[in-house]
Structure 1
């Protein structure tokens, strides 16, 4: 039981293939881990054990018949509560959504997972409509960090990010319109990929438009690559999806670190030229840059040369929040996160010229980064300039700004550009909180981002270290 909740998806699949254990045994162990750990961190807002075990029994039967389905048969997956699931409601942390109205509908990611025989574990928490970089909402309350429940998970994919380190699921789905996969991955000490825009089909279209990406949260880069092989399958409902390239991401991350890094030119920027960093974050990410260099990559300390694009991001992102609320009346708005209502109402006053000016700045940033990557394969930065702060707050105490993007300066620029960006754990602060490094690649070069992330994780694995709550939960399971 203890071993099942520690296993990666790759390890689970090998065990199923060898008939060492079954999807039902694994799923039962994960559900027990959820029952022990979720009351502390509030990662899942919906757990339906009967339905989950029904999927697991179907997978078990396919293995017994010698006909497993696809790439993930029997692997449990946690689902952020913004993805439409036909059997479960999708309310996006909001009292304004009729749960029944969402049933019977299936997002592309869920359809792809189903084609590959996944086991759905339940729905995970999000701030209302995924609007901010921490996770709390009027329906589910506050989601807490697995390493220290007094701290935030970050967001908006905070529930998915809290689940994986605690062994409540080896794989999880998230979305990212300003850092919402990478922020909680950084704060919670796991791997999170924002794929290139259009690489993973997503439907219905996000109210945040072309800032929004769907992607994986996992314990290892290898598992991330595995899940990408599934999520990138074609789905005609996403009009922004690029033509399928049938890249085998699992194959792309095979090899020794030196082989994976051979020939790569990496730019390292600890500040992007304008960010103030926590000292321990700076030291950990700089050490990661040195390690990559020692393994054979050519690493140059250089900033990409753009000014902070917070203003254009704010216009586009909060314009998306206003878009999400456009059909919600005054009575229903009284049921919502008041800060979401406030930013949406302010953004609704933006003019068309304000919006187009932000688009112009976005295009200039895209051009700047395209030129930058003519010389450098990757840009290495911290994922975040700080470690996790007090749960239930949008910003740290005594912070100079009241809005969340002010402490996520390394993430939102690359939503504007649509580039792939991966967060990988690279250390811990003196008070035991995770630190993440971010690897940013050329648009549609997700494979190189994953290659470098895999090389780093193989050379500096932190995967054997789990939160204290995980260990306590596993020990209780063994006693049971």
Structure 2
């Protein structure tokens, strides 16, 4: 390898527009066969590493353990450095002094706003976060109407923004702001998760119907301190580019000149800050994607050390080179955001090796010598290799002032193997993206980048990682790490050092000015290898090796001129300067960046033609009174159309988008509003005449649906009429009336493919009574076969036509599905249902402590049964704490029966009236089918041969069953014998055997207790253990009765007796709502017990006297809200909640606001390019 400067200017042609699309298709189809990709790779220098022999081992992730010197430097000393908490407190203290004494306000010499400006304006009551949010929403709207549109933001939710702003306004009004960033608007790059918004990664299709379920780590940290998360910024498609030209979504424009690029791939973040929409944005940097747009847009951007800021919650585009970091209008804000988001995260191992973060003490304006003795390395040939000399001139001018005024020392250095380093970075970042399954949905410019790399192989990737190791060792020696100096000289005698150890390496941020945008590139993209190389020239080393880098503003172009490339450059385009330090030394970079900002002073320029920046400035600084923008969008005439890229949500609620028209809309249940469609919608979607002419609102539609449903006589007729399965026997006939997909189906033939299949679901289905949004629910069928001869011989049977898998085959099938769901939906709540015994119980015990899950048949039934028993005690006039005095028979020893009894046992133990769990077990007698549970029945459902349950860590149902064996009772006693022997007070039926509650048994029970509790809980109706009529007759009407099936009220002795239904819908909807609202990481038994107690306490005394244990189904949402609130409380009490509710907020109100209400949302028809008309 060459020891001298070896970067070469590329010479590949520029291809854009339709030519790019054609070339891309040719290369994808015949590129490898024809050798085109081999030629292009070789021409680009990507094969250079193949001919290099390396002794170094590969380094796949540049996480570098801190040296003793680094650890020592991370200890704050109060004179030169502060901890993050100390820094934030110091800034807040200064700001509070400025509130009290406005004359103390520090001038930065420019009009860009900072967090401090917002904080002071709020504390001084010049404005409020709500007023700023409303004004900002209007400014965002306006930024989309200017020509060309700014295009900085991609998605946002008005309701989300205003909710955050109102909470912040309340905190300020009560004098308790959380921090200096409370109420400050922040924009997040589209590859970072923001709860409730789609993480599209700059594409038109990724996660399109799957909003993030929780915030990424750094977003969560900002939100916890009160920052208002505005929404997602535009980015280059999958981050693979430096221009931010994006034909798939939208291309942001440089606020300094909209004809020029913002840089990428975090260009939207750069544009939003430079335009003054927000003072802070978050970007990601895999090859300069923070520093390039910071330079082009005239702001400050920090690429931290790899591992300094957790990547938890970020889309893993290129995880070994990419990091996230702040992009800010001022260096003070860059320091503030770094203080907030740096540091380890418990679940991110890459972030846990770092030393403590420290920050420089706030700079003292005008003070000299603040960099005294700091050695800044200047690689002269590399530094001066720029397309526009004005860039290096501006950077040298900045360095000259830093040396003269602040005492820094410039040292000439040489960075070896720059060409090899660049190619190692190119190979690494693209290799980490090549495997994406969605490749052919991308735009031609992105596919072109990937196609050219197709000829690269494993040897290229391994060599790239060896080159990474080599580059890291060069830098260790350059930065003067003592242990590496002698080793470096011995290993690399060609390079030497000549004593040139430095603290900082400096380069321009880019070797070119912001390039112009061409029309063809905006439509189809552009392949411009020359521009890409010069743009990234100084960026790649920091990403490859993991060292931190910062881009600061160095100046601006002085006059308009035409360059040799034929492009005309305007005066006033920003120029950036980059500083890089050794690993974990962000403190020095932040210090230098702050001094660069001071050096620029009044020469710092704002974009001249961006009106909204001036509006927000005036509003925050209180220099004029402005009318806040309306919370709702302005009214529009039906003939007015607005073009916009998907999925820009700038109405007060959601917007549904579709490319469908005519009958395709009518047949789609998520699009068709039926008679509720307005005349305007009927015209736009071509459905006028396809629905009755009269327009009806949703309330009248519901009345009509209810009337029609009442006319259906059989369950199957009801099913055919309804769009969801809700009626008894209809479930058993589902396969014969299948019409369209209502969820996902996983069969035994899908083994090995489940992880890929999970991505196919568009998440667009049913809603439970708990008020959970329909798009957040995914029904799943796990099909392991059937043992029904009738179905096996049915040629129309749609499911797996083989006998059921059992044992380890069954468990491994479910295991694969669980892992697929965990990877795709890591925050999902899994609800098991209709799982055969004993698998149901064993699966629950296997996964309950590993994922957020529960079994509806076991635990929800347990909760509703316990609620029924507790309510029955109240109906008798007894306190619910007397549960331990009951003598309970459970007929059914399968998973559900054991689960119900375990719930009752938990409650007895919790009430503290029994000495031990063993004593609580003695209060329950369990029957397996018709006889008392005995040794011969363990592990079976009906006294048959036990079912094999597999091996390993799976809990055994037999272990639980054995707890209910009463050694003082005769084995195999029948139900009536048991009733007489123990004088039972409660009998529960959970074995699905019709008639198992015999007349003799129930009469014997009534003879021993005044108000026997009789609960035949099996369903559907034909499997009920007895009927309500039978129970009333056999107990002389004295029983407290509830069934699991919807039995009709009965007449007994001239009176109508109400029949309670203990349905799981009384428990699981509210439970699910509570879990999702609290973001609980696990579902616990305490949650089910509190669900039962809450439900039992819902019935009032008058209802209990009539035998009514629970409120009716019409009160389901009210019951669910109460249950959800209590479950939330339990989640917080047990330390399982991840949700952040505003301090002092009412939890029940917060849950109520989370509950979904059905509504018809505006529908927008879009074309295939993602543009549409209102």
What's the TM-score, normalizing by structure 2?
Answer: 0.38
Q: CA deviation at 1:273?
A: 6.4
1:420 corresponds, among 530, 538, 548, to 548
The answer on 1:448 being equivalent to 2:588 is: yes
- The match for 1:149 is 258
Deviations 1:248-269 (A, max 9, x none): 43x5343345353233111233
Please give the residue correspondences for 1:390-405 in structure 2 after superposition, counting only pairs within 5 Å. Answer: 390-391=516-517, 393=521, 401=529, 404-405=532-533
- The match for 1:389 is 515
Please give the residue correspondences for 1:4-23 in structure 2 after superposition, counting only pairs within 5 Å. Answer: 6-23=112-129
Go from structure 1 to structure 2 and tell me whether the alpha carbon gap of 1:368 and 1:286 turns closer, same or farther (over 3 Å shift): same
Go from structure 1 to structure 2 and tell me whether the alpha carbon gap of 1:217 and 1:413 turns closer, same or farther (over 3 Å shift): same
Deviations 1:42-80 (A, max 9, x none): 111113222211101101111222332245211110111
Go from structure 1 to structure 2 and tell me whether the alpha carbon gap of 1:446 and 1:351 turns closer, same or farther (over 3 Å shift): same
Please tell me whether the aligned partners of residues 155 and 181 of structure 1 are also in contact (alpha carbons under 8 angstroms).
Answer: yes
Go from structure 1 to structure 2 and tell me whether the alpha carbon gap of 1:197 and 1:274 turns closer, same or farther (over 3 Å shift): same
- The match for 1:28 is 134
CA distance in 1 between partners of 2:394 and 2:197 (Å): 41
Deviations 1:278-300 (A, max 9, x none): 11111100101101111133332
The answer on 1:337 being equivalent to 2:440 is: no
Q: CA deviation at 1:405?
A: 3.2
1:318 corresponds, among 430, 438, 445, to 430
- The match for 2:302 is 193
- The match for 2:403 is 293
CA distance in 2 between partners of 1:53 and 1:244 (Å): 37
- The match for 1:94 is 203
CA distance in 2 between partners of 1:215 and 1:463 (Å): 26
SS at match of 1:101: coil
Ranked by relative contact order (alpha carbons within 8 Å, sequence separation 6 or more), the top structure is 1
Please tell me whether the aligned partners of residues 171 and 177 of structure 2 are also in contact (alpha carbons under 8 angstroms).
Answer: yes
1:81 corresponds, among 185, 190, 209, to 190
Please give the residue correspondences for 1:257-272 in structure 2 after superposition, counting only pairs within 5 Å. Answer: 258-269=368-379, 271-272=381-382
Go from structure 1 to structure 2 and tell me whether the alpha carbon gap of 1:127 and 1:350 turns closer, same or farther (over 3 Å shift): same
- The match for 2:155 is 46
Please give the residue correspondences for 1:241-260 in structure 2 after superposition, counting only pairs within 5 Å. Answer: 241-243=351-353, 245-249=355-359, 251-256=360-365, 258-260=368-370
1:37 corresponds, among 137, 143, 157, to 143
Please tell me whether the aligned partners of residues 242 and 535 of structure 2 are also in contact (alpha carbons under 8 angstroms).
Answer: no
CA distance in 2 between partners of 1:403 and 1:145 (Å): 17
CA distance in 2 between partners of 1:109 and 1:28 (Å): 25
The answer on 1:239 being equivalent to 2:376 is: no
Please tell me whether the aligned partners of residues 154 and 388 of structure 1 are also in contact (alpha carbons under 8 angstroms).
Answer: yes
The answer on 1:458 being equivalent to 2:598 is: yes
Q: CA deviation at 1:26?
A: 2.5
Please tell me whether the aligned partners of residues 33 and 167 of structure 1 are also in contact (alpha carbons under 8 angstroms).
Answer: no
Q: CA deviation at 1:444?
A: 0.4
The answer on 1:355 being equivalent to 2:461 is: yes
Please tell me whether the aligned partners of residues 398 and 599 of structure 2 are also in contact (alpha carbons under 8 angstroms).
Answer: no
Q: Which moved more, 1:349-358 or 1:81-90?
A: 349-358
Go from structure 1 to structure 2 and tell me whether the alpha carbon gap of 1:20 and 1:99 turns closer, same or farther (over 3 Å shift): same
Q: CA deviation at 1:180?
A: 0.2
The answer on 1:282 being equivalent to 2:407 is: no
CA distance in 2 between partners of 1:351 and 1:446 (Å): 36
Deviations 1:108-134 (A, max 9, x none): 111111111110112100111111111
Please tell me whether the aligned partners of residues 94 and 139 of structure 1 are also in contact (alpha carbons under 8 angstroms).
Answer: yes
Please tell me whether the aligned partners of residues 201 and 315 of structure 2 are also in contact (alpha carbons under 8 angstroms).
Answer: no
SS at match of 1:266: strand
Aligned length: 467
Q: CA deviation at 1:410?
A: 0.6
SS at match of 2:382: coil
Please tell me whether the aligned partners of residues 308 and 344 of structure 2 are also in contact (alpha carbons under 8 angstroms).
Answer: no
Structure 1 unaligned runs (5+)?
A: none
The answer on 1:183 being equivalent to 2:292 is: yes
Go from structure 1 to structure 2 and tell me whether the alpha carbon gap of 1:77 and 1:384 turns closer, same or farther (over 3 Å shift): same
Please tell me whether the aligned partners of residues 419 and 443 of structure 1 are also in contact (alpha carbons under 8 angstroms).
Answer: yes
CA distance in 2 between partners of 1:210 and 1:131 (Å): 15
CA distance in 1 between partners of 2:528 and 2:141 (Å): 39
- The match for 1:367 is 473
Go from structure 1 to structure 2 and tell me whether the alpha carbon gap of 1:270 and 1:96 turns closer, same or farther (over 3 Å shift): farther
CA distance in 1 between partners of 2:358 and 2:123 (Å): 20
CA distance in 2 between partners of 1:91 and 1:289 (Å): 40
CA distance in 2 between partners of 1:473 and 1:18 (Å): 21
Q: CA deviation at 1:141?
A: 2.4
- The match for 1:226 is 336
Please tell me whether the aligned partners of residues 260 and 515 of structure 2 are also in contact (alpha carbons under 8 angstroms).
Answer: yes
Please tell me whether the aligned partners of residues 299 and 553 of structure 2 are also in contact (alpha carbons under 8 angstroms).
Answer: yes
- The match for 2:766 is none
Q: CA deviation at 1:29?
A: 3.0
CA distance in 2 between partners of 1:412 and 1:363 (Å): 14
CA distance in 2 between partners of 1:412 and 1:260 (Å): 29
Please tell me whether the aligned partners of residues 510 and 538 of structure 2 are also in contact (alpha carbons under 8 angstroms).
Answer: yes
What's the TM-score, normalizing by structure 1?
Answer: 0.90
- The match for 1:379 is 505
Q: CA deviation at 1:371?
A: 1.1
CA distance in 1 between partners of 2:585 and 2:265 (Å): 25
The answer on 1:168 being equivalent to 2:277 is: yes
CA distance in 2 between partners of 1:473 and 1:451 (Å): 27
SS at match of 2:258: coil
CA distance in 1 between partners of 2:614 and 2:179 (Å): 30
Please tell me whether the aligned partners of residues 326 and 337 of structure 2 are also in contact (alpha carbons under 8 angstroms).
Answer: yes
CA distance in 2 between partners of 1:157 and 1:164 (Å): 11
Q: CA deviation at 1:307?
A: 2.6
Q: CA deviation at 1:436?
A: 0.5
Deviations 1:224-252 (A, max 9, x none): 00001111143223221144645343x53
Please tell me whether the aligned partners of residues 95 and 138 of structure 1 are also in contact (alpha carbons under 8 angstroms).
Answer: no
Please tell me whether the aligned partners of residues 354 and 584 of structure 2 are also in contact (alpha carbons under 8 angstroms).
Answer: no
Structure 2 unaligned runs (5+)?
A: 1-110, 481-500, 560-570, 619-623, 628-1174
Q: CA deviation at 1:209?
A: 2.0
Please tell me whether the aligned partners of residues 185 and 217 of structure 1 are also in contact (alpha carbons under 8 angstroms).
Answer: yes
Go from structure 1 to structure 2 and tell me whether the alpha carbon gap of 1:294 and 1:402 turns closer, same or farther (over 3 Å shift): closer
CA distance in 2 between partners of 1:402 and 1:291 (Å): 32
Q: Which moved more, 1:347-356 or 1:225-234?
A: 347-356
Please tell me whether the aligned partners of residues 37 and 473 of structure 1 are also in contact (alpha carbons under 8 angstroms).
Answer: no
SS at match of 1:460: helix
Go from structure 1 to structure 2 and tell me whether the alpha carbon gap of 1:6 and 1:21 turns closer, same or farther (over 3 Å shift): farther
1:137 corresponds, among 232, 239, 246, to 246
